[in-house]
Amino acid sequence: MSVDLATVKRVAHLARIAVSEDEANRMMGELNGILGFVEQLSEVNVDGVEAMTSVMPMAMKERQDAVTDGDKAADIVANAPVTDQNFFLVPKVVE
């Protein structure tokens, strides 16, 4: 896959980037180089290679998936000017 000058200008237009003719030509070469590198990566045989997220083996910390209310309702409304049964009271704004 290669990128032509029209594609570079279209992408620049969609990204709302102003590019001159020289810049578009330079970008075309750079984008084609990047795509060539990606094509080289697709040629690598990765059969039997396990996917990894880090070079060091790590285990994610897990916690029990339990729903709690936090028992912090009183702390949350402590600085509110007016509350009622741990709810914020606000003045009516719509009539």
All domains of the chain in start order, with CATH: 5-42 (1.10.20)
Q: Which two tokens stand for residue 60?
A: 């994610």
pTM over 0.75: no
Q: Which two tokens stand for residue 6?
A: 């029209």
The label of the residue with tokens 């590019």 reads 19
- The pLDDT tens digits for 38-95 are 999 889 998 988 888 888 888 888 988 888 777 888 899 999 999 999 899 999 888 7
